[in-house]
Structure 1
Amino acid sequence: MNAAVRAVVRTALTRHAEVFVIYEGYQGMIDGGEGIRQFQWDDVGAILGKGGTVIGTYRSKEFREREGRLKAARNLVDRGIDRLVVVGGDGSLTGLDTFRSEWPGLLDDLVRDGRLSAQQVADHPALMIAGLVGSIDNDLVGTDSTIGADSALHRIIEAIDAITSTAASHQRSFVVEVMGRHCGYLALMAAVAGGCDYVLIPEDPPQPGWEEDMCAQLRRGRQAGRRESIVIVAEGARDRDGKPITSSYVRDTIDRINHEDARVTILGHVQRGGRPSAFDRWASTWLGYEAAQQVINSDKDSPAMVLGMRGAAVVRLPLMDAVSATRRVPELIEARKYEDAMALRSADFTEMVKIFEELAHPLHVTTTAGSPRIAIVHLGGLAPGMNTAARAAVRLGIARDFTMLGVRNGFAGLLKGEIDELGWEDVEGWTGEGGAELGLRRTVPPLGDYYAISRALEENQIAGLLVIGGWNAYIAAFQIHREAERYPGFRIPIVCVPASIDNNLPGSDQAIGADTALNEITDDIDRIKQSGAATTRSFVIETMGRRCGYLALMGGMAGGAERVYLHEDGITLDQLNKDVKWLRMSFERGRRLFVAVRSEMASDAYTSDFLARLFEGESHGLYDVRMNIIGHVQQGGEPSPADRLLATRMVSHALDVLKGELDAHSTGSWFVGLHESQVQAQPLRHMEDQVDIGNRRPRYQWWMKLRPVSEAVSGEPLE
């Protein structure tokens, strides 16, 4: 929420608007006085990385009454306010719409009572509004993500990862209850991202007899060698008859049927707290920017809209239509119309329900003799989430009657015969592990190795290739596909799955690993800024990304950088002169901290070291300068929840594509990607049309749309 508040304030100020914030929700609007305060640029400094909301929130009963709304309208008009951005849930947005529709009548009553003048009312004939949804439940129908949901999922996965190690030590089952009275998003996504055994959600209750089924699933895991079992329960879970399923009931069921002393952990409000994730910072910044633009550009005839994220875009939905559809879901659940309730959920939600069902109740857990042999190979730079992808590929592949092979150390390992058949339990525990258990190589196989690679594919009877990796993985797959006429072993279907922290691969808005890298960059910027909190200091921070500026721009937005330098924009001497002048003037006016983020190949001439020396040389003693190259920590660490989920979705679709090719006796090659919330596949032969080969990035980079957003919230206009 703080990221959204910061973006609204700063965007409006850059548009030369007066900006007020209202403390304690609608109650502050009613109370007036210090409840409504004018804000300037620095009033929202240093709040980007704070949890909660610095302006408070409150469930105001008084605002539900007309007299309360009369007080609120008077206090707004007295300050010349007739445009509101509200961040809240469906109740807050419903109240906002009511307030807007009643506005003319409220003002008429206030004039009649003598509390406002006719001229004041004439100056503010309508209330222009924009709504943003702050809800960890992620329950707004029509969008993919609401403010706070990703951060809440981070808290849950951190807890599950910690519980998993405890459970394994004691060979114990845990029942973990998460929030979600009417929406199972957190429970479902946590179950997939956490590699859990069973999940119970409100929209899709289990079939009768689920207790025996769940306990049998837990026993199968133990018999296969697992030392721990985890069941996730949404607080609003119920059975098909509408009876609540509590976490204590699940624990007692495990004790009764499996004779095992299970433990219950109720995560509670820890899910609402803590530092916001990188996604919740940059996405909320984008939403706040668009909301400010919305109300500034609106007039009395503009419709009431709520803004949300759908894929890599901000969407605007008619406010009450979205609220009505969102409230419809609990009604459908109460009426036991579960299929209708599921139909209102987002594409990734319904897809994950099917994937988890397949993982929890696979048709096969062992390889069938004679089934098609699919090889998994990594190539390119390391990306967090590669292990998640490999695990999902093995388990979903076996469930779909493939024989899954792991090629160790890329195509070099293929030539050396480093190929293992992977069973269901061989990938146990890979979900949350960083690195790549199968190993990888960066280099593209040279032409001289093609014959040997072709022979290796034939000798190992490989029917299809699943290539999970970065830029070089795509180049290698493309070349193998192109040489199929000359090498018989290459006449097999190939599917590429994007895994690269650079997020520079064609056909996908997001690559596996990029979100984890962004969280690492954001954490590092936070720590770097803290190190300079007691002095006056400027930092120049360099990120990875080669000539693709995704990490720098998004990391700069999430970390609150004042300047971001990208290869896509280039760096000019004129620009640096302006930046140095602004920097010196800003410190003269009281600034104590400045952060510039530079993508590693933004310029051959103007290096990070050059920028640091330039800023230092022009400081005139006002500040000192430090340079930080974040380095390979961006490739390390455990994959974020978003990367775990993305890896699972992508691999599931890639296996579907391979199956379709094999069933059709075809040898088509494809690359999969996430676009407009859907995982899609495109022919590999089209790859060249979509990429800038020289700069190793897509021709169209959606995130460059956020350049104006970054500029609007970063450096205060001083002239």
Structure 2
Amino acid sequence: MNAAVRAVVRTALSAGAEPFAIMEGWIGAINGGDSIRPMKWASVSSILNKGGTVIGSARSDEFRTYEGRTRATKNLLEQGIDRLIVIGGDGSLSGADEFRREWAQQLEGLVESGEVSAELAAAHPELTLVGLVGSIDNDLVGTDMTIGADTALDRIVTAMDQITSTAASHQRTFIIEVMGRHCGYLPLMAAVAGGADYVFTPEAPAHPGWQQDVCARLQEGRDAGRRESLILVAEGARDTEGKDVTTQDIAEALKDGLGEDARISILGHVQRGGSPSAYDRWMSTLLGYAAAQELLSPQAYGQACILGVRHNRVTRLDLEQAVINTRSVQKMIDSGDYVAAKKARGNTFFEMSQIFHVLSDPPDEANPASAPRVGILHAGGLAPGMNTAARAAVRMGINRGWNMVGIDGSWQGLADDRIRELTWSDVEGWAFDGGAELGTRREIPPVESYYAIGRAIERNRLDALLVIGGFNAYLAVMQMSQERSRFPALAIPTVLIPASIDNNLPGAELAIGADTALNNAVWALDRIKESAAASKRCFVAEAMGRKCGYLALMSGIASGAEYVYINEEPLTLGQLSEDSVILRESFEQGRRLLLVVMNEETSTHYNRSFIAKAFEAAGENLFDVRDSALGYIQQGGAPTPFDRLLATRLVHAGLNSLEESLSSGAAEALYVGMDSHEITARPIEDMPRDVDMNARRPKKQWWLSMYPIIEVVSLENAKMSVRKVPILTADQTQENEK
């Protein structure tokens, strides 16, 4: 929420508007006075990394009454406020819309009672409302994500990873209760990302005999070699008769059915706390920026809407209809239409509810030796989430009736026959580890090695390849595909899964590993800012990405950097000189810290050291300058829940493409990715059309439209940029891009 508040305040100031914060929710509007505070630039400084909300939030029974809303109307009018941005759940937003609808009636009553002058009422005849959904449950229909959901999911999965080590050590079952009174997003996604055995969600009420089903599923997992078992339960879980299914109920079922004493862990409000994730910072910044634009638009005056997220773009939703659609899900559940309830939550929710069972249920028996053999290979630089992708590929492939083969050591490993059969239990635990169990290498195999690779494919009877990797993996597959006429053994179905922290792959707006790298970079930048708190300092930090500025820009937005330099926006000496002057002036006016983020190949002329020295010369001992490359910390650590879920979805789509190729006999090479609409598979021959081969990045990069936000939300006295971030819906995307 803080990121959204910060963006709203600073965007409004940049546009020449006067923003106010209503403290403690509607209570502040009713109390008036100091509870409605004018906000300045510094009012929202240093809040990006803080959990909660600095302006407070509270429920108000008094606002539910007409008299309470009358007091709120009067207090807002006294400050000249007739535009509101409300951040909350569907209840808060529907209440705000009711307030908007009765605004004229309230004005009439206040004028009649003499509490407000007719002139003041006439100056503010309508109330304009823009809603942003703040809910860790991610329960609003029509938006992919709500503010706070990504951070809450990260808290849950982190706890699951830690509990898993304890559970495995003692061969125990843990029953974990997570939030989700009416929506199963958190438990379902955490179950997929954290490797749970069973999950209870409101959208899939437990059927009669669920106790025996849970016991049977857990026993199958143990028989397959699993040492630990995790069961996730939404706080709103029920059975088909409407009776609550509690953690204690499940523990008793396991005691009766398996003779096992399960441990219960209720995560509670830890899910709401702590520093927000990188996604919840940059996306909430984008939403706050767009909300201020929407609110100040003449066309929006007197209207109400919700701004949500679809495919990483801001989308405008009708407030009333969004609330109706959200509340209709419970009606579907109550009527027993559970499939419709899952579909109403969105395609991802429905898809993951099906994928979960494939990943968690061991097969009854091994596939026959005559079944198709699919090789899994990593290539290119390391990306967190490669193990998740390999695990998903093995389990989904086995479920399709294939024999899955792991290739150690990339292309050279294939040529050297370093190949092993992978069973369902072999990949247990891979989803949660960084690195790559199968190994990866950056080298693109030379033409001279194609014969050896082809022979290895024949010797090992590989029918298809799933290649998980980065730009060099794509180049290798493209080059080998062009040589298939000379080396026929290479002509087998091949699918590329995008995995690169650089996020520079064609057809994939987000690659596996990029979210983890971004969170690592933001964590490091937070520590850098803390280290500079005791002195006056400018810090120049370099992110990875080569000539793709994704990590630099997004970490700059998420960490509150004042300047971001990326290769896509050429840095000139004139700009560097101008920035040096502004930098010095800001320190003279009392600034203590300024953060600059750049990507590693921002410019052929001005590297990190040059920029640091230029700023140091401009400072003339007024402040000191430090510079550092964030380095390989960006590639390390366990993958984030987002990367685990993305890897699972992309592999699922990739295996669908392989299945089609194996069925039709086509030996095409495809790359899979998620664009602004859906997951697609494109022929490798399209790569030169989609990519700037010299810069090694896509010709169209969706995130570049956010570049102007840095100037508006990070540089005081900046004016609203002409290059506004477009507000897009899924249907409008192509037309707006045109």
Measured against the shorter chain, the TM-score band is over 0.9
Deviation (angstroms), 1:650: 0.6
Q: Which residue of 2 aligns with 1:46?
A: 46
The aligned counterpart of 1:188 is 188
Pairing of 1:459-538 with structure 2 (within 5 A): 459-538=459-538
Name the counterpart of 2:6: 6
Matches within 5 A, 1:553-572: 553-572=553-572
The 2-side partners of 1:39 and 1:312 are apart by 29
Separation of aligned partners in 1, 2:595 and 2:680: 38
Whether 2:122 is the aligned partner of 1:138: answer no
1:584 corresponds to which residue? Answer: 584
1:393 equivalent in structure 2: 393
Amino acid aligned to 2:243: K
Deviation at 1:455, TM superposition (A): 1.1
Paired with 1:206 and 1:98, the residues of 2 have a C-alpha distance of 36
Task: Kindly indicate whether the alpha-carbon contact (under 8 Å) linking 2:556 and 2:597 is maintained by their aligned counterparts in 1.
Answer: yes
* Cα separation, 2, equivalents of 1:677 and 1:626: 42
Q: Could you say which residue in structure 2 is the equivalent of 1:101?
A: 101
TM-score scaled by structure 2?
A: 0.96
- Indicate the residue corresponding to 2:303 in structure 1: 303
Correspondence 1:316-331 to 2 at 5 A: 316-331=316-331
1:606 partner amino acid: Y
Question: Which amino acid is 2:175 matched to?
Answer: V
In structure 1, what is the Cα distance between the partners aligned to 2:352 and 2:678?
12
- Are 1:544 and 2:544 matched, yes or no? yes
Letter of the 2:279 partner, please give it.
Answer: F
**C-alpha contact (below 8 Å) 1:363/1:400 kept by paired residues:** no
The Cα of 1:128 is off from its aligned counterpart by 1.2
Shift of 1:709: 1.7
Farther-moved stretch of structure 1 (248-257 vs 301-310): 301-310
Alpha-carbon separation, structure 2, partners of 1:366 and 1:677: 37
| 2:447 is the alignment partner of 1:447 | yes
Cα-to-partner distance string for 1:288-341 (whole Å, 9 max, x where unaligned): 000000001144656311011111211110011101111111232233332221
Distance 1:609 1:20 in 2: 41
CA contact (8 A) 1:241 1:336 kept: no
1:236 matched residue in structure 2: 236
SS at match of 2:450: helix
Q: CA deviation at 1:364?
A: 5.3
Secondary structure (helix, strand or coil) at the match of 1:681 reads: strand
Q: Per the alignment, in what secondary structure is the counterpart of residue 625 of structure 1?
A: strand
Match of 2:694, SS? helix
- Write the deviation string for residues 392-447 of structure 1: whole angstroms up to 9, x where unpaired: 10111111111101111100101111011111111111011000000011011111
What SS is found at the alignment partner of 2:253?
helix
Structure 1 residue 205, shift from structure 2 partner = 2.4
- Please list every run of 5 or more consecutive structure 1 residues that lacks an aligned counterpart in the other structure: none
1-structure distance, mates of 2:429, 2:362? 18
Q: Using the alignment, how far apart are the partners of 2:211 and 2:601 within structure 1? A: 56
Per the TM alignment, residue 627 of structure 1 is displaced from its structure 2 partner at its CA by 0.6
Question: How far apart are the structure 2 equivalents of 1:513 and 1:563?
Answer: 25
CA distances 1:627-684 after superposition (whole Å, capped 9, x unpaired) = 1210011011100000000001111111111011101111122111112363221222
Question: What secondary structure is seen at the aligned counterpart in 1 of 2:174?
Answer: strand
> Hey, what does 2:734 align to over in structure 1?
none
% same residue: 55
Distance in 2, matches of 1:300 and 1:699, equals: 34
The question of whether the paired residues in 2 share the 8 Å contact of 1:376 and 1:467 is answered with yes
Report the equivalent of 2:27: 27
How many angstroms apart in 2 are the aligned matches of 1:510 and 1:595? 26
**Equivalents in 1 of 2:685, 2:76: separation in Å?**
59
State how 1:591-602 maps to structure 2 within 5 Å. Answer: 591-602=591-602
Structure 1 SS opposite 2:84: strand
* SS of the residue 1:350 aligns to: helix
For 2:267 and 2:717, locate their aligned partners in 1 and report how far apart those are by CA, in whole Å. 44
Which residue of 2 is the match for residue 253 of structure 1? 253
Aligned to 1:664: 664
Tell me which residue corresponds to 1:351.
351
Give the direction of change, closer, same or farther, for the CA distance of 1:718–1:303 in structure 2 (3 Å limit): closer
Residue of structure 1 equivalent to 2:736: none
The one-letter amino acid of 1:324's match is: I
- Structure 1 segment 20-169 matched on structure 2, within 5 A: 20-169=20-169
Change (3 A) 1:365 1:637: farther
Decide which moves more: 443-452 or 513-522: 443-452
Map 1:700-711 onto structure 2 (within 5 A).
Answer: 700-711=700-711
Say yes or no: does 1:272 pair with 2:272. Answer: yes
CA–CA distance in 1 between the matches of 2:109 and 2:362?
65
Give the letter for the 1:268 counterpart. G
Count of residues paired in the alignment: 719
Q: What is the CA deviation profile of residues 94-119 of structure 1, one whole-angstrom value per residue up to 9, with x for unaligned ones?
A: 11111111111111111111111111
What CA distance in whole angstroms lies between the structure 2 residues aligned with 1:558 and 1:64? 36
Contact 1:126/1:300 (CA < 8 Å) preserved in 2?
no
Unaligned runs of 5+ in 2: 720-738
> 3-state DSSP class of the match of 1:519?
helix
> Could you say which residue in structure 1 is the equivalent of 2:696?
696
Deviation of 1:361 after TM superposition, in Å, equals 3.6
Contact map agreement 2:343 2:349 (CA 8 A) in 1: no
1:425 matched to 2:425: yes
Give the aligned partner of residue 375 of structure 2.
375
CA drift of 1:192 comes to 0.5
Kindly tell me: are residues 543 and 335 of structure 1, through their superposed partners in 2, closer, same or farther at Cα, counting changes over 3 Å? same
**Corresponding residue of 1:643:** 643
Q: TM-score, normalised by structure 1?
A: 0.98
Q: Deviations over 1:7-44 (max 9, x none)?
A: 00011111011110110001101100111000111110
Residue in 1 that maps onto 2:618: 618
The 1:200/1:718 distance shift into structure 2, 3 A limit, reads: closer
Mapped contact 1:505–1:698 kept (Cα < 8 A): yes
Per-residue CA shift, 1:231-275, capped at 9, x if unaligned? 111111122232221111111111110111100001011101111
Moved more, 696-705 or 486-495: 486-495
For residues 718 and 121 of structure 1, the distance between their equivalents in structure 2, rounded to whole angstroms, comes to 33
- Secondary structure in structure 2 of the residue aligned to 1:431: helix
Map 1:327-338 onto structure 2 (within 5 A).
327-338=327-338
Partner of 1:313: 313
Cα distance change on mapping 1:375 and 1:127 into 2, 3 Å: same
Counterpart secondary structure, 2:122 = helix
Shift of 1:712: 1.2
3-state SS, counterpart of residue 694 of structure 1: coil
- Is structure 2 residue 418 aligned with structure 1 residue 435? no
DSSP 3-state at the match of 1:193: helix
Query: C-alpha separation between the residues in 1 aligned to 2:300 and 2:155?
Result: 42
Alignment partners' CA distance in 1, 2:363 and 2:143? 33
Given residue 434 of structure 2, which amino acid in structure 1 is its aligned partner? G
Secondary structure of 1:695 counterpart: coil
For the aligned residue pairs, the C-alpha RMSD in angstroms reads 1.3
Partner of 2:732: none
Q: Tell me the alpha carbon deviations over residues 555-609 of structure 1, each in whole angstroms, 9 at most, x when there is no partner.
A: 0001110000000001101111111111111111111110000110001111111
1:365–1:399 CA contact under 8 A, matched in 2 = no
- In structure 1, how many angstroms separate the alpha carbons of the residues matched to 2:366 and 2:42? 61
Asked whether the equivalents of residues 127 and 303 of structure 2 are also in contact (C-alpha less than 8 Å), the reply is: no
Contact kept? 2:127, 2:301, Cα under 8 Å: no
CA 1:576–1:690: 2 relative to 1, 3 Å: same
Which stretch of the first structure deviates more once superposed, 584-593 or 356-365?
356-365
Deviates more, 1:649-658 or 1:332-341: 332-341
Q: Which moved more, 1:590-599 or 1:63-72?
A: 63-72
